[in-house]
Amino acid sequence: MKQLKIGVIGAGAIGQEHIQRIQTKMAHGIVTAVCDINSANAQLMAQQWGLRVEPDMHALIQAQDVDAVVVACYDGAHAEAVLSCIAAGKPVFCEKPMATTQEDCRKIVEAELKSGKKLVQVGFQRRYDKGYLQLKEILDKGEFGSPLLVHCAHRNAGVADNYDTSYAVYSTAIHEIDAVHWLIDDEYVSAQVIMPASTRHTRADFLRDPQMMILRTKKGVVIDIEVFVNCRYGYDIQCEICCEDGIIKLPEPSFPTVRKSAMRTVALETDWKERFIEAYDVEFDDWISSTLRGEMNGPSAWDGYIAAVTADALVQSQKTRDIVEIVYTVS
């Protein structure tokens, strides 16, 4: 099988991880070029992995030895990078969010439709996590009947100082927004955020924490997502689907049960990158091999758009506490 030559836009934390992942674990992909507005990041990756540094994203996208592009730069530059890849007819894997506004997401969906080719995959790695795939397989067999309720929890031990109330949606619940509509194969119709008392471990005027987000779907399913990003005890992802004929629960990451000092304990994850490391690997492997086959199977530009519209509705409700209707307007 031929190797896919990849250019990476953005060599910060996640970009560096993806470069390392491709260079060390992907048999059918190789990074050839990199760019970053912070040239020190790009130089570091170039030295470490023998890459060429391109002066900017447009030069990188146009380069002869770049068959496909990974977008891992700051969120605000995603739309420009993805649109430029579509214009060049090059497949693009874009980290979430696909763009920071729903208008930009709509432009991407429309540009891709106009190009006549599926070129965009969005980095919603949960769809490649073994546990989520097991949930999906069970649901799709239909033996549990229709889903009625979905209970999710997304808990981080702590977050960076610049993480504010809206990040709880745009950066955190965005994963559940994508994963749940994929799992239950349904469309969101409304969004609401309920704010319980805030933990003393946050500045409540800047970040309300925890938050309870409620989504309703076309088929009448109600989804509750607890986002609690100063939970202090670890990184904990829960998902339980109540169906007509039974309950399906996301498996816990497996750690040994240990006995010591009169205690029986099981460890928990503490870091999201570790929790989903295998999912990231499978996601990249799938993106590379399907791109080589001329296919695109992962989360699409449309999924990126749905996530953006739903996230905006939740953020609107954070301000008013009202139930906000969700309307998709791509023709």
- Judged by beta carbon, residue 49 or residue 228, the one nearer ligand ISE is 228
Query: Residue 26: helix, strand or coil by DSSP?
Result: coil
d(CA 46, CA 144): 51
- Shortest gap between Cβ of 171 and ligand ISE (angstroms)? 4
Question: What's the burial of 93, exposed, middle or buried (CB within 10 Å: 0-12/13-18/19+)?
Answer: buried
d(CA 176, CA 124): 10
Q: Is 202 among the residues that bind ligand ISE (CB under 6 A)?
A: no
Q: Which of residues 30-59 bind ligand ISE (CB under 6 A)?
A: none
- Shortest gap between Cβ of 175 and ligand ISE (angstroms)? 6
Map residues 129-158 to x or -, x wherever contact with ligand ISE holds by CB under 6 A.
---------------------------x--
Strands annotated E in 61-119 = 68-71, 92-95
Could you tell me how many residues of this chain bind ligand ISE (CB under 6 A)? Answer: 6
Q: Is 102 among the residues that bind ligand ISE (CB under 6 A)?
A: no
CB 82 within 8 A of CB 308: no
DSSP 8-state code for residue 198: P
Map residues 284-303 to x or -, x wherever contact with ligand ISE holds by CB under 6 A.
--------------------
Site of tokens 């060390």 = 24
d(CA 56, CA 47): 18
Cβ atoms < 10 Å from Cβ of 247: 11
- Judged by beta carbon, residue 32 or residue 156, the one nearer ligand ISE is 156
Which amino acid does the sequence have at 32? Answer: T
Q: Is 175 among the residues that bind ligand ISE (CB under 6 A)?
A: yes
Which amino acid does the sequence have at 149? Answer: L
Q: Which of residues 218-257 bind ligand ISE (CB under 6 A)?
A: 229
Q: Which residues of 120-147 are buried (b: 16+ CB within 10 A; e: fewer)?
A: bbbbbbbbbbebbeebbebbeeeebeeb
Closest by Cα among 243, 3, 247, 6 to 121: 6
- Judged by beta carbon, residue 272 or residue 328, the one nearer ligand ISE is 272
DSSP 8-state code for residue 2: P
CB 74 within 8 A of CB 14: no
Of 41, 171, 202, 317, the residue at the interface with ligand ISE (CB under 6 A) is 171
Of 32, 172, 217, 230, the residue at the interface with ligand ISE (CB under 6 A) is 172
User: With CB under 6 A as the contact rule, which of the stretches 61-69, 130-138, 170-178, 210-218 interacts with ligand ISE?
Assistant: 170-178
Q: Is 272 among the residues that bind ligand ISE (CB under 6 A)?
A: yes
Q: Is 78 among the residues that bind ligand ISE (CB under 6 A)?
A: no
User: With CB under 6 A as the contact rule, which of the stretches 168-176, 191-199, 279-287, 321-329 interacts with ligand ISE?
Assistant: 168-176
- Shortest gap between Cβ of 155 and ligand ISE (angstroms)? 8
- Shortest gap between Cβ of 63 and ligand ISE (angstroms)? 29
Chain residues binding ligand ISE by CB under 6 A are 156, 171-172, 175, 229, 272
